[in-house]
Chains A and B, each alone.
Chain A
Amino acid sequence: MIALLSQPWPWYVSGAVIALVMVLLLFFGKSFGFSSNLRTICAACGAGRHVKFFDFDWRAQIWNLLFLVGAILGGFISAEFLTSNEAVQISQATVQDLRALGISAPDDLQPEEIFGLEALLTVKGFLVLLLGGFAIGFGTRYAGGCTSGHAISGLSNLQLPSLIAVIGFFIGGLITTFVLLPLIF
């Protein structure tokens, strides 16, 4: 059983489990949307004293922070007990495209060139993660949700605004992939 769970899961199993997580939260009386946590953390750190947007009862959102803690634990459990130590099996075409950028084929989940300590300690490497993160935080709040809130919950509820947001996700993603990455790397 553990051996089976330790393999990378096929897309249809993964998609079904994500839908299950969303449904569980609905039956817990909540809705699936991860990025609200970023706002909650800002509020919990006292940002509400200076900015109205963070002046709300963040304690009502503690359930979502617990979900966040669970997500970290889930990552830890996967890394410690459910790992097959296999490199991510991405397509050969992607491997070649990335090699042209100077990023070597996967031997783990993340590329050393971005997540390794050596990359992190360069100005470029640090800024890639910091500014990438900044765009994520700013963009999700502006768009009112991220992949879980819009692409999963919103599309499941046939919300046109979510579809527009997802189209935006792809416009941004394609700009980074085909314009910014070749400039950066």
Chain B
Amino acid sequence: MKSLKFILAGILFGIVMSKSEAISWFRIQEMFRFQSFHMYGIIGTAVLLGTVVTYLIKKYKLRDFQGNPILFTPKEMSVPRYLVGGTIFGLGWALTGACPGPMFVNIGHSYWAILVAIGGALAGTYVYGVVRDRLPH
């Protein structure tokens, strides 16, 4: 059960990514061309509801299933890190039409070409690890 709940949450995520069509290259292109509300609606709804729940968790100091307090660690402030890193990610997101989650969901759809992108993503992560100390953070 301990492991199963994470697999089940992942299944729900894989299904919603598929049925919302957020894993589709076409939908990502449509979003970056500002030609449909669809992706903005998805992200907007998730963030709006997420904000309400996050607020309630903090306000009522809610605990997780094991009774530990749910904590949110504030992210350290830095402009170059988020702006440059984010921009590099965005370049790849629009090119492959996939972010890290949908990449893997695409495997389930037998789009085997995505394995090349996943290989690239692992290489990119590795290279970041190597050059990390030389980048502004």
Q: Which residues of A contact B (CB under 8 A)?
A: 5, 7-9, 11-30, 34-35, 37-39, 41-42, 47, 51-54, 62-64, 66-79, 82, 88, 90-91, 93-94, 97-98, 106, 109-111, 114-117, 119-120, 126, 128-144, 146-148, 150-162, 164-177, 180-181
Contact = CB atoms under 8 A, between A and B. Distances in A.
Given A16-B45, A82-B18, A164-B82, A115 B13 contact: no
Interface string B17-55: 111111111111111110111110111111111110110
B105 to A, nearest CB: 4
B79 A164 contact: yes
A115 B113 contact: yes
B105 A15 contact: no
A63 B5 CA distance: 9
Contact of B46 (A15, A78, A116): A15
Closest 6 interchain pairs by CB?
Answer: A74-B14, A70-B10, A168-B86, A172-B90, A75-B108, A15-B45
30 contacts: A14-B16, A17-B16, A26-B53, A28-B9, A29-B68, A29-B70, A66-B6, A67-B6, A72-B104, A74-B13, A75-B15, A78-B18, A78-B109, A79-B110, A97-B29, A109-B18, A109-B111, A126-B116, A141-B124, A142-B128, A143-B82, A143-B89, A146-B101, A148-B100, A152-B46, A152-B47, A158-B54, A165-B86, A172-B91, A172-B93
